[in-house]
Amino acid sequence: MKLKTKLLVTYLTVVVFAVIISAVLLWLLGRVMPEIRETAAQTAVILAILLFTSGATMLLWVYRSIIAPISDLKKATQEIKEGNLDYQLPMPLEGDEIAELCEDFESMRIRLKESAEEKVRYDQESKELISNISHDLKTPVTAIKGYAEGILEGVASSPEKMEKYVRTILAKAGDMDRLIDELTFYSKIDTNRIPYNFAKISVMSYFSDCVEEVGTELETYGIELRYENDLLEDTTVIADPEQLGRVIHNIISNSIKYMDKKRGLIQIRVLDVGDFVQIEIEDNGRGIAAADLPNIFDRFYRTDASRSSSTGGSGIGLSIVKKIIEDHGGRIWATSREGLGTCMHFVLRKYQEAVIH
C-alpha cells in the first residue's frame, strides 16, 4: 500500500473513532442530565465537523510537505535510473529537512550530469586524437616505405641521391617519433602527471643553445632564422629545460607547417619586460584569421578542418604549449595577420634572490 493511501486510511480511522467516542460520551452525558440532551447532540455534530475539518487540513499539509516531495523524489530517481540526467527535481516551498534532501539530490544530479558530460567529451577527444595521429602517421610511413624501396631497387644511384634518401627517411622517422611523443604526453596532461624538473636556468645560455639546434632544423626546410636577445647575461628563470624546449619546438613546428612563402623567415626575440622575460616567435607564414585566433590553444582545434590537409598534426600541439607555460606560472597569447604571419608571445617571471635585511 502506498504512503498516501496509508495516510488517508489512518486519518479516516482516527476521525471515525474520535466521532464515535465523542458521540458515546455525549449520549451518556445526555442520559445522566436530560436537560442538556439537545445541546449535547448539537455539540457532537459541531465536534465531528471540527475533527473532520482539522484532520483534513492536517492531511493536506502532510501531503503537500511530505508525500508530494517524496513522490517527486521517487520520479526523479526513476528518471536518473533510466539515464535521464536532465530531469530537474521540483523544489519544495518549505525549507525543512525534506527540502534539504531534495536540494542534496538535485546537487547530486548536477554532478552526475557534469561527470557524464566530461566522460563523453574525454572519450570524443581521445577518439579524435587517435584518429588524427593514425591518419598523420600514414604520411611518414608511406614516405619511408617509398624511399626505402627506392634504395633497394637502386634508384638512389649516386652517393648524393643516397644521402638525400637516407636523410628523408630519418626526417620522416623523426616526424613519427614526435607524433607518438605527443600521444604519450597527452595522456600525462589529462592525469596531471607531467614530469616537471624545475631548475634555475640562464636565459641567455639556454636560448643560445636552443637557437643553434632550431637553426639546424630550419636549414633543411630552407627557412631563415633570426635571433635577438636583449637580456642581461645573468638573467635567470625557474623552468623545466626539457618542457620549455617542447614549447619552443611545438611553436616552431606550427610555423613550419603553415609556411607558404618561398623565402620563409622565423624570428626569435627574447625581451626584458621588467619582472618578466618575454619570448616572441614570429613567422611570415599564411597567418591566422581573426575568427580563429581565440581558439588556437583549444585542444584539437584546427584552422584547416580538412582531414586531407597536407599540414597534418595531432591538433594538440598548442594546447600542450599553453598547459606547460601556465604550469610555469606564465602566460601565452598570439597575434596574427592573414597572409603576413603569426607571432606567439609568452612570458616567464624572472628569478630574483630574496633579499634578507
| Residue pLDDT, tens place only, 109-125 | 888 888 888 888 777 76
Coil, strand or helix at 39: helix
Q: Is the pLDDT assigned to residue 310 strictly greater than 50?
A: no
Categorize the per-residue pLDDT at 77 as very low, low, confident or very high, splitting at 50, 70 and 90: confident
199-349 has which fold? Answer: Heat Shock Protein 90 (3.30.565)
* pTM of the full structure: 0.59
Residues with Cβ within 8 Å of residue 31, at least 6 apart in sequence? none
Q: Which residue has the higher pLDDT, 12 or 325?
A: 325
Q: Which residue matches cell numbers 614549447?
A: 247
Q: What is the pLDDT of residues 217-252, one digit of tens each?
A: 888 888 999 999 988 888 999 999 999 998 998 899
CA distance 284 to 255: 8
Q: What is the pLDDT of residue 1?
A: 46
User: Is the pLDDT assigned to residue 82 strictly greater than 60?
Assistant: yes
The owner of cell 584569421 is 289
Contact 314, 302 (CB under 8 A): no
User: Which CATH number is 131-190 given?
Assistant: 1.10.287.130
Q: Are 283 and 253 in contact (CB under 8 A)?
A: no
132, amino acid identity:
N
Q: Where are the domains of the chain?
A: 3-90, 131-190, 199-349
What is d(CA 155, CA 204) in angstroms, rounded to the nearest whole number?
Answer: 46
Cβ-based neighbour number of residue 341 at 10 Å: 24
pLDDT band at 307 (very low <50, low <70, confident <90, very high): very low
Instruction: Give the dihedral of Cα atoms 264, 250, 346, 321; nearest 10 deg.
Output: 160
Cβ-based neighbours of 86, under 8 Å, separated by 6 or more: 113
Which of these ranges, 68-82, 200-214, 322-336, has the smallest mean pLDDT? 68-82
Residue 204 DSSP SS3: helix
- The percentage of residues in the chain with a pLDDT greater than 70, rounded to a whole number, is 71
Question: Given a cut of 60, is residue 357 above it in pLDDT?
Answer: no
pLDDT of 228 reads 93
Residue 20's SS3 state is helix
Bridge partners for 273 per DSSP:
276
All three cell numbers of 186, joined, read: 597527452
Q: How many angstroms separate the CA atoms of 67 and 64, rounded?
A: 6
Per DSSP, the residues of 278-339 read EEEEEE-SS---TTTGGGTTSTT--SS--TT-TT---S-HHHHHHHHHHHTT-EEEEEEETT
Q: Work out the pLDDT band at 151, boundaries 50, 70, 90.
A: confident
Sequence letter at residue 325:
I
What is the pairing mode between strands 264-273 and 223-229? parallel
Task: Using the predicted structure, report yes or no on whether residue 71 has a pLDDT greater than 80.
Answer: no
**pLDDT mean over 84-90:** 79
Q: Which of 7-16, 56-65, 328-337 has the highest mean pLDDT?
A: 328-337
List pLDDT tens digits, range 261-290: 888 999 999 999 989 999 999 999 998 888
The model's confidence at residue 39, banded by pLDDT at 50, 70 and 90, is: low
Residue 275's nearest CA partner among 237, 234, 226 is: 237
Separation between Cα atoms, residue 259 and residue 112, nearest integer Å: 45
Q: Report residue 305's pLDDT band, with 50, 70 and 90 as the boundaries.
A: very low
User: What pLDDT is stored for residue 105 in this prediction?
Assistant: 81
Q: What does the alpha-carbon distance between residue 223 and residue 254 come to, in Å, rounded to a whole number?
A: 13
Q: Which helix (H) or strand (E) holds 154?
A: none
> Could you give phi then psi for residue 269, rounded to 5 degrees?
-120, 130
